[in-house]
Chain A
Amino acid sequence: MAIRRGRGVAAVNYPTGMNLGGDPSQALVHSTPTGNFMVTLSSVDLGQGLKQIMAQICAETIGVPAELVTIDTGDTDTGPHCMGTFASRGTHRIGNAVIQAATEARQVMLEVAAEELEVNASDLETDGTGNIHVKGAPQKAISIFDTALAAHFKRGRSISGRGMFLVPRSYPEVETGAMKPATCYAHACTVVEVDVDDETGEVTVVSVKNVFEIGRALNPRMVEQQLVGGSWMGLSHALYETTEPYYPNREHGGTDFNQYLMPGPGDLAETEIIVLERPAADGPYGAKGPGEMCANPQIPAVANAIFDAVGVRIDHLPITPERILRALRAQAAPAGA
């Protein structure tokens, strides 16, 4: 009886957005009289940080610092429609709607600035810190603060924009299944090392090395949050979680966190996250949706590592010590016994 080490790999892809499309989202952007920007949505932040990312996307598009952008969301009386936060769609769908709305608002802002500076709007650019100037002539400039004031009180212009993003719905061909499930895909490859105690069936995940390709890391620390948490959830799914431990038997389902098991802070694997960025053609600044993909490759990688360690295949999730022990016993039993 011994602790045996094994290593396993898995590689996956994951579609961004609702399968087969048809899932619109809208955004409205407007400036306040002093050049702050409001983004109005009805989208939901479940904890991924949607509000922060939409502020950064809006700021990038308009050409202002992100702290000047406020996200107003979560009220169906004021926010335009959003299909919802699921299917790795938030950043991609809502981000594209915000870009469209912010682009329209930026155009009005540049037109007002052009009138104030008596130049052509197409000759203007933003410096990203709150000013608009003539390309190649930074001294010929106006602040966004003054531009917004002029728009409101002098020119009677609304610095605002509307954004809508819809991937048209695809209908699968009945006989062949020809269809367009998604417009872009995230990717991952994970290598897991485990120790398996062949006496108890217990598995300790020693290390997890995750390589994720996510289009574009719009905020690297927030991407890290998602990917680290996702990697943990993948390991948790592989080894612990179910509401029906003896499925399809309906009994013995956990009703609290003492019975529904997940790895705690004392059960963590050494985790490494490497991010590749291949921009998606239709992604907001190239971004894809990494939120779901990041919890998938660990599961088969763990299963493969367990086989590498002790030579048994557990093809039924979760891979509990009980299942491993039963498989080890079956393996050790003489044929026909």
Chain B
Amino acid sequence: MIRLAKEYFADQRDDDLKQLGQAFHRSDVPGHVTGKTNYFADRSFPGMLHLKMVRSPHHHARIRSIDTSEAEKHPGVARVLTHKDVPHNVYTILILIQIGPEDEQVLAADKVRWKGEAVVAVLADSERAAQEAAAKVKVDYEVLPAVLDMEAALKPGAPIVNEYHGQNYYRYDSGACRKVRFGDVEKGFAEADHILEQTYRSSPIEQAPAETTGCIVVPEGNDRFTCYTNTQALFFSLDNTSIILQMPGHKLRFVGGTVGGGFGGKVDVTTEPIAILASKLTGRPVSFIYSREEEMQVSSPRAAETIVIKDGVMNDGRIVARYVKGYTDAGAYSRHSPYGAQKGAAHYPGPYTIENVWADTYCVYTNRTPSSAMRGFGVTIADFALEVQMDKLARLIGMDPLEFRFINAYRDGDMKAHRQPTEGAALIECMQEASKAANWPVAEKYLRMSSYKGG
């Protein structure tokens, strides 16, 4: 199915590697096919407790009271945890790279801001007992108006989704959005033969790894805790746990590295802190593994996005101005979304050289499941919008869509909108090969182009 097209860039490559460039078999695959590979949940420990989470049934509500007394009496229940048990209950995971503020409660204390938010953790001898006891937890809610639409969230007077931010968008050092300003976009539009403004949207997407998110925690008896986890980032999870539990890092050992798929779905620190806390408070091993339903609707999806693109194009095919407004629906909390939204800002205008660019990207809060990373974070939906827009522009001026891309493709040395010179470009060659492979003919001059400087 794969073909290496070695004729491209041969002058830049020494094809003399011995151990690389070889299709060696994967050392982990014999374990996979014989069922011997050890995933985190393939361990069980005597006396292990199962954690089930009581979750918010409302998009937005004030918590009047929490009554766990009936749940605590349920046979097999070892412990019930509420926000009062969490040492540092308000956190945000990117605080590790100085992207604050802390805006999310580990277990909801005063309010819930999305349907599915964790409120009470129940620990019992069996999953069944934990489930049954969870149903006996009584939470008295005062339902509040919910904001589910980004446009509505950004309107003046909209209910505030997350008081830790104070407004329904993330405030960057640059203001309400991450900005990219390059050239003179108004001058570009004034010169353009045609202007096309279009709006693109996406809905949230689930990473859907085969193995759901989770961990198993074992108290080692010396005040240290081993956490077997399928996180995509061991130290990232450990360090966040350390903050939330106010527990020095040397008390924590995270073990993992063999994971049943991630796709960005396992970078939020949602199971480890509470499971370690439970293990500390009960002195017993604790298993907290998302059900498939939780994985689908509770774990962070890829954000929904709305992207408005306005382009100025000449009849000869050159795009002379591009104006973009991108909105990322973060849901109720930041998680990784402020990062993803500004990654989008850097990505515009894609692999094309445009002299006048204006891009604003917003990270917007709504009362839905917090979104977070997924394969192509900040770029996938942007590429959908950009490349459909490219198709529309080509048709608008009556040009072949592939030839239109050759005209605008970036080459080494071209200045990008974020003011970095292009290096190592290869878009033109990809399109040349695609033209041949798909039998999509383009004019000879495009087949003679090169990504090299001046090519």
Contact = CB atoms under 8 A, between A and B. Distances in A.
Nearest to B380: A296
Interface in A67-91: 71, 73-77, 79, 81-87
A9 B387 CA distance: 8
Q: Of residues B377, B387, B429, which shows the largest number of chain A Cβ atoms within 10 Å of its Cβ?
A: B387
Interface string B421-448: 0011111011101100110100000000
A12 interface: yes
A173 B203 CA distance: 31
B231 interface: yes
A45 B387 CA distance: 32
A280 B122 CA distance: 51
Interface string B309-338: 000000000000000000001000000000
Central interface residue in A44, A57, A177, by most chain B CB within 10 Å: A177
Interface stretch (B43-51, B103-111, B251-259): B251-259
Interface in B407-424: 409, 417-420, 423-424
B412 to A, nearest CB: 10
Given A76-B234, A81-B235, A250 B28 contact: no
A7 to B, nearest CB: 7
A112 B267 CA distance: 43
Residue from A174, A176, A248, A280 having most chain B Cβ neighbours under 10 A: A248
Nearest to A245: B203
B437 A253 contact: no
B179 A276 contact: no
Interface in B177-202: 178-182, 198-202
A316 B202 contact: yes
Interface in B243-298: 252-264, 266-267, 292-293, 296-297
B264 to A, nearest CB: 6
Interface string B20-55: 111111111000000000000000000000000000
A315 B235 contact: no
A230 B374 CA distance: 13
Interface in B198-220: 198-206, 208-209
B164 interface: no
A219 B23 contact: yes
A203 B417 CA distance: 36
A209 interface: yes
B24 A56 contact: yes
Nearest to B348: A177
B2 A227 contact: yes
Given A46-B261, A211-B434, A220-B2, A277 B13 contact: yes
A264 to B, nearest CB: 13
A179 B418 contact: yes
Given A12-B387, A45-B259, A189 B204 contact: no
B296 A11 contact: no
A84 B296 contact: no
A187 B232 CA distance: 25
B178 A172 contact: yes
Interface size class of B (residues with CB under 8 A): 35 or more
A156 interface: no
B437 A276 contact: no
A128 B18 contact: yes
Contact of A255 (B9, B296, B378): B296
Contacts of B238: 76
Contact of B297 (A51, A212, A255): A255
B70 to A, nearest CB: 26
A188 interface: yes
B432 to A, nearest CB: 9
B255 A74 contact: yes
Nearest to B378: A19
A212 B26 contact: no
B2 A243 contact: no
Nearest to A55: B27
Interface in A298-333: 299-301, 303-304, 307, 313, 315-318
A177 B174 CA distance: 9
A20 B172 CA distance: 15
A128 to B, nearest CB: 4
A255 B292 contact: yes
Given A9-B402, A274-B437, A250 B257 contact: no
B222 interface: no
B297 to A, nearest CB: 5
B27 A191 contact: no
A262 interface: yes
B375 interface: yes
B383 A218 contact: no
A219 B22 CA distance: 5
Given A86-B267, A191-B440, A276-B430, A218 B115 contact: no
Interface stretch (A116-124, A139-147, A284-292): A284-292
Interface in B337-374: 339, 342-343, 345-347, 350-351, 359, 366, 368-369, 373
B297 A243 contact: yes
Nearest to B236: A84
A272 B27 contact: no
B304 A248 contact: yes
A8 interface: yes
Given A9-B402, A315-B200, A316-B203, A176 B384 contact: no
B427 A189 contact: yes
Contact of A279 (B13, B180, B384): B13
Contacts of A237: 205, 380
B296 A256 contact: yes
Interface of A: 7-15, 19-20, 22, 42-47, 49, 51-52, 55-57, 59-60, 63-66, 71, 73-77, 79, 81-87, 128, 172-182, 184-185, 187-191, 209, 211-213, 215-224, 227-228, 230, 233, 237, 241-245, 247-250, 253-257, 260, 262, 271-281, 285-286, 291-293, 295-297, 299-301, 303-304, 307, 313, 315-318
Given A76-B235, A191-B438, A260-B208, 18 more contacts: A9-B440, A45-B259, A51-B28, A56-B19, A85-B232, A86-B233, A174-B173, A176-B179, A176-B419, A180-B418, A184-B423, A212-B430, A219-B24, A248-B148, A273-B3, A277-B9, A278-B13, A297-B383
What 8 A-B pairs are tightest by C-beta distance, nearest first? Answer: A74-B257, A84-B233, A300-B387, A177-B180, A191-B438, A181-B346, A247-B203, A13-B351
13 contacts: A46-B266, A52-B24, A66-B24, A76-B255, A177-B419, A187-B351, A187-B430, A215-B424, A248-B150, A248-B329, A256-B292, A272-B1, A317-B201
